Amino acid sequence: CAGGIIGIISSLVGIGGGTLSVPFLIWHNVEMHRAIGTSAAIGFPIAVAGFLGYLVAGWDATGLPAGSLGYVYLPALFSLVICSMITAPLGVRISHSLDVPRLKRCFAVLLMVVGAKMLWDVIAA
- Per-residue pLDDT reduced to its tens digit, 31-78: 998 998 898 888 788 788 889 989 999 999 999 999 999 999 999 999
What is the Rg, in whole angstroms, of the alpha carbon atoms belonging to the chain?
16
Q: What is the pLDDT of residue 118?
A: 85
DSSP label at residue 63: S
SS3 of residue 68 by DSSP: strand
The more confidently predicted of residues 17 and 42 is 42
- Measure the CA–CA gap between 114 and 35, rounded to whole angstroms: 19
Banded pLDDT at 105 (limits 50, 70, 90): very high
Domain boundaries, the chain: 2-124
Burial of residue 7 (CB within 10 Å: 0-12, 13-18, 19+) is buried
Model confidence pTM above 0.85: no
Using the predicted structure, report yes or no on whether residue 87 has a pLDDT greater than 90: yes
